[in-house]
Amino acid sequence: MSELKFSQLPYSRPKMDEIHTRFEAIEEVLQNGSSAQEQIDAIKTWNELRLNIMTMGSLAEVHFSLDVANEKNKEEKHFYDENGPTIMEWNTDISRLIIHSSHLDALKKEFGELLFIRLENELMTFSPAIKELLIQESDLNMQYNEITASAKIEVRGTEYNLSSIGKLMISEDREVRKEAVKAQYDFLLLHASEFDNIYHELVQLRDKKAKLLGFKNYIDLRYIEMGRVDYNASDVAKFRQQVIEYIIPIASRLRASQAKRLGLTDGLHSYDEKLQFADGNPIAHGDHDFIVSAATTMYTELSGETKEFFNVMLDRQLMDLDSRNNKSTGGYCTSFPEYGVPFIFANFNKTTHDVEVLTHEAGHAFQAYRSRLHKVPEYQWPTAEACEIHSMAMEFLTWPWMDKFFEDDAEKFKFYHLQGAIIFLPYACAIDHFQHWVYENPNVTPAERLAQWREMEKLYLPWRNNEGIEGAMQGRAWQFQRHVYEGPFYYIDYALAQTCALQYWNWSQEDRAEAFKSYLKICDVGGSVAFLDIVKVGGLKSPFTPGTLEDIVESASAWLSKEHPEYLK
């Protein structure tokens, strides 16, 4: 089993009646077991059962992502969407028994305090009353996914999907860039009513779900769902304010320099934003196989731990990286915990992002591989903002090997990458602020949401000029961001993590060995401690501490000015 390739990993749809019988047996012990050890053993059995269900669900999700048009894949995805709420209900019944156990102190000693905080939160975020709403929510997300994955966008006689068209957006020919972005938005406009209606229904559903569970609004519910036990929406709002005060001025200067580099006499337009250099962005000097070969060398040399990990990924074919029709957009990492391996999903499109997405998702996968021995499902992955530290820090820790991908353009890439980390922060905050407004005002019209996004662009992206791109002028840019539909409030996690990842960048400039040692620690701890405790384990500063974000971004900005003044004239 341990050596099976991805295509050979056994998948079987869970039999609901059998699962229910097993859940009932666990409940029986938790209700009537006379000793702490009996209950500990029952929880261990429960953990094993949950890991099996998670593994089968992850396999079904990946198979669907790889080909959303495949009917069998759709059927399996639909099974989990339809039955997931029932399984959630059975898990909640067990959580309730655990929380009220007469042996609670012994259970906490065995499994750790955080598990019980997670279980208590789970009881707050689920009720049988919302089961049907959860099924409807999954169906709506599937509709969004199917529309975006099936996109066929023609530019100058060639057909692209939403991933492959990305290479045209970095064309050195401005007209090509404009045509590509316009064509992308034309696709959005063609399906505008569908995208508007899907999102409107999602917002209504989520608001209804929150109120059925006794919450003021979906924001309060979602923060608990996402495991945010050590900070709240007020902390995030203060973080966004730091970005407004300290980061947007720097990002604006970087965008102005970009316009000068590109020789744009009429200023930067939205269709220019992805091209950073007049002679082209740095792109890997080879195709898929070249990139994977360079990555193999990189991870072999980075450390013994990364060498072992990447060899497993290669030998067992646990990566699917090329873009193709009917494949979901974007990139992600998941894991198959019962088999002890992660999986990387991406869409190479011959842009700089090919290398970024590989190192990013490899960071997730490396953490999942290092945490695979945690027997408590909640501890195999931390919460999202901590997960994104692993991925974004990996992007920076691999800098010394960028010449393997970009050859003479390696320094150009480093400038591109570091300034991109700064420019990204305002966009992440725009997405987050927008979502807070949406769920504070769940009954507004789709048109009012578009208007609000335009206000977000004015506040967080003051350089943005959408002239000539109808869909962008309407305020539809956010509809390309899958997270807004499928993972509400996830996006700020990238900004919080970037603040930590930039600390690893700074640290690695001074002492790479110590920086990597810290990185290993936060990977190994998995999700056994909460976000801010993971930050402490790594010896990092909290993103919420005043001055942390300002200091690290100023350090990055200073590096850009010192190392590459030629790009900042």
> Mean pLDDT in each 10-residue stretch from start to end of the chain (569 residues)?
87 96 96 91 97 97 95 94 94 96 95 96 95 95 92 95 93 97 96 98 98 97 96 98 96 97 96 96 95 98 98 97 90 96 95 94 98 95 96 98 97 96 98 98 97 98 97 97 96 97 97 97 97 98 96 94 92
pTM of the shown model: 0.94
**319-322 sheet: strands from edge to edge:** 319-322, 341-348, 332-336
Which residues are CB-contacts of 437 (< 8 A; sequence separation ≥ 6)?
452
Question: Residue 550 in contact with residue 242, Cβ under 8 Å?
Answer: yes
444, amino acid identity: V
Contact criterion met (CB below 8 Å) for 197 and 445:
no
Token output for 539 = 């010896």
Helix (H/G/I), strand (E/B), else coil: 263: coil
- Straight-line distance from the first to the last Cα atom of the chain, in angstroms, rounded to the nearest whole number: 57
pLDDT score of 569? 77
Taking the C-alpha atoms of residue 14 and residue 192, their distance in angstroms, rounded to an integer, is 37
pLDDT at residue number 330 = 87
- The pair of structure tokens assigned to 157 is 């006689």
pLDDT of residue 329: 86
What distance in Å separates the CA atoms of residue 302 and residue 291, rounded to the nearest whole number?
16
Catalogue the long-range contacts made by 273-276 (C-beta closer than 8 Å, 24 or more residues apart): 273/464, 274/166, 274/169, 274/170, 274/177, 274/351, 275/169, 275/170, 275/171, 275/172, 275/177, 276/416, 276/419
Give the integer Cα–Cα distance in Å for 34 and 341: 37
**What does the buried/exposed string (b/e) look like for 115-139 if buried means 16 or more CB atoms within 10 Å of the residue's CB?**
bbebbebbeebbeeebbebbbbbbe
Q: What are the beta bridge partners of residue 336?
A: 341
Give the separation between CA 49 and CA 43, rounded to whole angstroms. Answer: 10
Position 2 scores a pLDDT of 63
Contact 282, 412 (CB under 8 A): yes
> 249 CB contacts (<8 Å, ≥6 apart)?
none
Q: Give the whole-angstrom CA distance, residue 207 versus residue 209.
A: 5
Segments making up each domain of the chain, as ranges: 6-136
Cα(272)–Cα(468) distance, integer angstroms: 12
